[in-house]
Structure 1
Amino acid sequence: MLLAVLAACGDSNPPMSMDRAHSDRDTTMQVEDIDVASPALPATASSVDRALRYTDAAGDNTLLLGQHSTTRSDDDGVVDQLTLHAAHHLATPHAPQPFREAWRHTEVVECEGLDFDGHFLDEVLRVEDLDGDGFAETLVGFSTFCGGGIDPRQIKLVLHTRDRDFVLEGESVVEPPGGSPFGGSHAMTPHEDTVPAPFREALLAAWKRVRAD
């Protein structure tokens, strides 16, 4: 089995309103789905399956999600490759270019001769001002699988903030018929104890929702 994960950095969906209570300030973010064929998207956008737009203290933001797959043959057989990518662009109306890419995260998964698939975790996707500073944090989830029989899926949750990324990686819980559950382990980077509470809570809450993916 070959499973390599390299981290770097359809249908229309209704607008999302994401809210989390933070003391005495309103942290609601209005997030709007936009047409992936819109000429208003960043010119560098490619293989885009979903585009979201929102406004925070940094200005007008666009989040692009997409994926593409390829198949190649080598001496050992057929190798499937799936690329999932998320990119955040900030509008720069007074600059020569209308957008600046703030960050990009790419997951590349390769699998040879086994069951194989991957997708974004829609139930994890969040754009929200978690710490109440006026700037939105973005939580994106990935689920990938390369295996045979009953094996856990690989789950990665990435929380992007203004200053850094926080990542939770784990294996899904598998409940075989008539057998005992297995899998379900996870770890956070940096260590969970050092992650600020609002970000840690968001990652753990998302993990609980998808660990049985």
Structure 2
Amino acid sequence: MKIALPIILLFIAQTSVAQIKVTQLAKTDVPKSIIYKGHIINAAKYADKTGDHLVITTETGETPTKNSENSDSRDAALYAYHYDMGGNNQFKLSWQLYDFISDCPVDIKANYVQGSFAVTDVDNNGIAEVWLLYRTTCRGDVSPSTMKLIMHEGDKKYAVRGESKVKLSEKETIGGTYTFDAAFKSAPASFRKYAADTWKKYIMDTF
């Protein structure tokens, strides 16, 4: 038993997932030098082996479409901003995300999926992954939304694109399909597993 114990402990250390310390920020904690559009959904800072980082996700909500032929038309957009943090409160924008729906006269959506925002290190390499899951749609019926899962690890971007799943009756659903982009297909298997698990967890859409 005394010989086996160190072997077991070594196995656990090699297979555990590294933890990234993430600090959630209130809107008032975001430095005034940071410019963003919309209202903040998530704001967080974290540190990995590449340094300190700040990520902000925002949504505009519904806004009237300018110069539309339809007076009921609305727009909606969402954004994400990622900053590398240097000394003396210096921030350098390293990547950003923008998606939108425009000129929509029926039900409109451009929203992050509540509870899905995450910062991880699933491949245990000391570089954090930032996961963003959101839905966009312009629909006047019971149909799935466009759903996208975007992940950034450093300067690398990965995407899963597909649609949410909608319940039509007690036994019938539609939607739910998704596709990994080329970056995900050649990425570590742990990335695809985390992405697929996240997609399945938040796949159901509501109205």
Superposition TM-score, scaled by structure 1 size: 0.79
Structure 2 distance, partners of 1:128, 1:165, is 15
Q: CA deviation digits over 1:26-52, x for unaligned, max 9? A: 611121111212363543244341310
Q: Which runs of 5+ in 2 are unaligned?
A: 1-11
Q: Which is bigger in relative contact order (C-alpha 8 A, separation at least 6)?
A: 1
Q: Quick check: which has more Rg, 1 or 2?
A: 2
Partner of 1:120: 112
Q: 2:81 aligns with which of 77, 87, 92?
A: 87
SS in 1 for 2:77: strand
Partner of 2:200: 208
Q: CA deviation at 1:90?
A: 1.0
Partner of 1:155: 147
Structure 1 distance, partners of 2:188, 2:176, is 23
**Structure number with higher strand proportion:** 1
Q: CA deviation digits over 1:128-149, x for unaligned, max 9? A: 1122111101000111221112
- The aligned length equals 191
Whether 2:159 is the aligned partner of 1:167: answer yes
Structure 1 distance, partners of 2:16, 2:186, is 25
The one-letter amino acid paired with 2:64 is T
Q: 2:14 aligns with which of 15, 23, 29?
A: 23
Q: 2:64 aligns with which of 58, 61, 71?
A: 71
**Structure number with higher helix proportion:** 2
SS in 2 for 1:61: strand
Q: Which runs of 5+ in 1 are unaligned?
A: 1-20
Decide whether aligned partners of structure 1 residues 48 and 102 sit closer, same or farther in structure 2, where only a CA change above 3 A counts: farther
Identity %: 21
Q: 2:53 aligns with which of 61, 76, 90?
A: 61
Q: 1:34 aligns with which of 25, 48, 70?
A: 25
The one-letter amino acid paired with 1:190 is A
Q: Which segment drifts farther, 133-142 or 97-106? A: 97-106
Superposition TM-score, scaled by structure 2 size: 0.82
After superposition, the CA RMSD in angstroms is 2.3
Decide whether aligned partners of structure 1 residues 99 and 168 sit closer, same or farther in structure 2, where only a CA change above 3 A counts: same
